C-alpha cells in the first residue's frame, strides 16, 4: 500500500513497511508546446527560472489541487516508477492520497482519476487536517476536540477534529507559496528589485518571521536581483522586519480563518482545545514566531509538531491501517 502527500510544493511518498521513501519538489520540465518530459522532481526544480527557450519547468499543482491534469498524471507516474522496481511494477498497489479540506467533488474526481491511471488497484482520499493530526501523534478517534492548523505550500487547512472526523474546518488558499509571492511584491514595491521564486523562498526560510522579536536581534540577509530602475544586477540588504511587513496581509487572512473556525466550534470542543492547545503542522509551521503569532491571536497555547514537514505524509501512511475508524473517500464515491 502506498500513501501520497500530493502537495503544491513537494510530493512525498510512503510505502507501508518502508516509511517515507521519496521527497521531491512537485515540478516537471517538458519540451515547450509538448508533453515530452525532460525532468521531474529535484532535477526539474533546479531548472526553474533557468530553462532555455524550448524547455518549460512547471508546477502542475496549484493551491493544493491539480492545475494541469495531464502533467500531474505524468509526474505522479514518473515518481511511482522511481520507487517501484522489479516485480513490484507488475502489482497494482492500493493508494491513499492526501488532499486539502473543502476540495470540490470535481477536484476529488481529478485526483482519483489520476491515481487510477497510474495503476492504482484502489484509490482513497484523506483530508490534510486528519492526516496531519495522525502524523503529529494525536489520537483523533478520542471523543475530545483537537485543533490542527496545517500550513502547506498552496493551502492552509484549519480544522477541529473529534471521533475520527472533521467537525469544523476552513481551507484557505494562502500558504507558503503565497508568502513567497508576498516577499517578491514587497521588495519590488519598496526596494525596486526583482527577485525569483527560489530567492523569495530562501529569504522566507532564512529571516522570515510572523512577528517581530523583541528579545532577539534583528536578522539581516544580503540578496541579489535585478534593478527595476536600470535593469542591471543589484545586491541589497534586507532584515526580518521587512519580511514581517511583507507577510502581514496573508497572515491576517489565516487569522480570519482561525477565528472563523473557533466561532463555529461548540463550547464543549472549545474547552478541549483550550486544555490541549492548538497544533501547527506543515512547512509553514517553520516560519519563525508563527506559534507566538497564533497564540497572541487566540489566547490559546500553540505548539509546533515535532516533524511539521512530514506530519501529513506520516499520518497518511498510518491511516492505511485506520480506514475503518476515520473519514476517507474512495473513487466509487465520485463516479
pLDDT digits (tens, 9 = 90+) for 59-72: 888 877 788 888 88
> For residue 244, what pLDDT band results from cuts at 50, 70 and 90?
very high
Domain count, the chain: 3
Classify residue 277: in a domain, yes or no.
yes
pLDDT tens digits, one per residue of 137-194: 999 888 999 999 999 988 999 999 998 889 999 999 999 999 999 999 999 999 999 9
Tell me: pLDDT of 35 over 90.
Answer: no
DSSP-derived pairing of the beta strands 2-6 and 94-99 = parallel
Any idea what DSSP says for residue 145?
-
Which structural domain, as residue segments, surrounds residue 213? 176-246
Average pLDDT, the chain: 88
How far apart, in Å, are the Cα atoms of 17 and each of 22, 60, 76?
14, 29, 21
Q: Are residues 156 and 288 in the same domain?
A: yes
pLDDT tens digits, one per residue of 73-132: 888 888 888 887 755 555 677 889 988 887 788 888 888 888 888 778 888 899 999 999
Q: Are residues 300 and 155 in the same domain?
A: yes
Q: Are residues 200 and 150 in the same domain?
A: no
CATH number at residue 231: 3.90.640.10
Do 307 and 12 form a contact (C-beta atoms < 8 A)?
Answer: no
Classify residue 40: in a domain, yes or no.
yes
Classify residue 296: in a domain, yes or no.
yes
Tell me: pLDDT of 335 over 60.
Answer: no
Cell numbers at residue 258, please? 482561525
SS3 220: strand
Tell me: pLDDT of 329 over 80.
Answer: no
Do 40 and 28 form a contact (C-beta atoms < 8 A)?
Answer: yes
103: nearest Cα among 58, 40, 148, 166: 166
Do 145 and 268 form a contact (C-beta atoms < 8 A)?
Answer: yes
Classify residue 135: in a domain, yes or no.
no
Residue 303 is predicted with a pLDDT of 96
How far apart, in Å, are the Cα atoms of 129 and each of 100, 108, 136, 195?
8, 16, 10, 33
The overall pTM is greater than 0.85: yes
Residue 148 is predicted with a pLDDT of 96
CATH number at residue 281: 3.30.420.40
Amino acid at each position: 500500500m502506498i500513501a501520497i502527500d500530493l502537495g503544491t510544493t513537494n510530493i512525498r511518498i510512503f510505502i507501508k513497511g518502508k516509511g517515507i521513501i521519496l521527497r521531491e519538489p512537485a515540478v516537471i520540465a517538458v519540451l515547450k508546446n509538448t508533453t515530452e518530459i525532460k525532468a521531474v522532481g529535484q532535477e526539474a526544480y533546479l531548472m526553474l527560472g533557468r530553462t532555455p527557450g524550448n524547455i518549460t519547468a512547471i508546477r502542475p499543482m496549484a493551491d493544493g489541487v491539480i492545475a494541469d491534469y495531464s502533467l500531474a498524471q505524468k509526474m505522479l507516474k514518473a515518481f511511482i516508477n522511481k520507487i517501484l522496481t522489479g516485480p513490484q511494477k507488475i502489482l497494482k498497489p492500493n493508494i491513499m492520497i492526501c488532499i486539502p479540506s473543502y476540495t470540490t467533488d470535481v477536484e476529488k474526481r481529478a485526483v482519483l482519476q489520476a491515481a487510477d491511471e497510474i495503476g492504482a488497484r484502489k484509490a482513497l482520499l484523506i483530508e490534510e487536517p486528519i492526516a496531519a493530526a495522525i502524523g503529529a501523534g494525536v489520537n483523533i478517534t478520542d471523543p475530545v476536540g483537537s485543533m490542527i492548523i496545517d500550513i502547506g505550500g498552496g493551502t492552509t487547512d484549519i480544522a477541529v477534529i473529534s471521533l475520527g472526523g472533521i467537525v469544523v474546518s476552513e481551507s484557505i488558499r494562502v500558504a507558503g507559496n503565497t508568502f513567497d509571492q508576498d516577499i517578491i511584491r514587497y521588495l519590488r514595491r519598496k526596494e525596486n528589485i526583482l527577485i525569483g521564486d527560489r530567492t523569495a523562498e530562501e529569504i522566507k526560510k532564512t529571516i522570515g518571521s510572523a512577528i517581530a522579536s523583541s528579545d532577539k536581534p534583528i536578522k539581516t540577509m544580503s540578496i541579489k536581483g535585478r534593478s527595476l530602475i536600470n535593469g542591471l544586477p543589484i545586491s541589497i540588504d534586507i532584515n526580518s522586519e521587512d519580511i514581517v511587513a511583507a507577510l502581514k496581509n496573508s497572515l491576517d487572512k489565516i487569522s480570519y480563518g482561525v477565528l472563523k473556525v473557533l466561532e463555529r466550534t461548540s463550547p464543549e470542543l472549545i474547552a478541549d482545545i483550550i486544555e490541549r492547545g492548538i497544533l501547527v503542522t506543515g512547512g509553514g509551521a517553520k516560519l519563525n514566531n508563527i506559534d507566538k503569532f497564533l497564540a497572541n491571536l487566540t489566547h490559546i497555547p500553540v505548539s509546533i509538531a515535532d516533524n511539521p514537514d512530514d506530519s501529513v505524509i506520516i499520518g497518511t501512511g498510518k491511516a492505511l491501517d485506520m480506514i475503518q475508524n476515520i473519514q476517507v473517500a474512495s473513487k466509487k464515491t465520485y463516479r
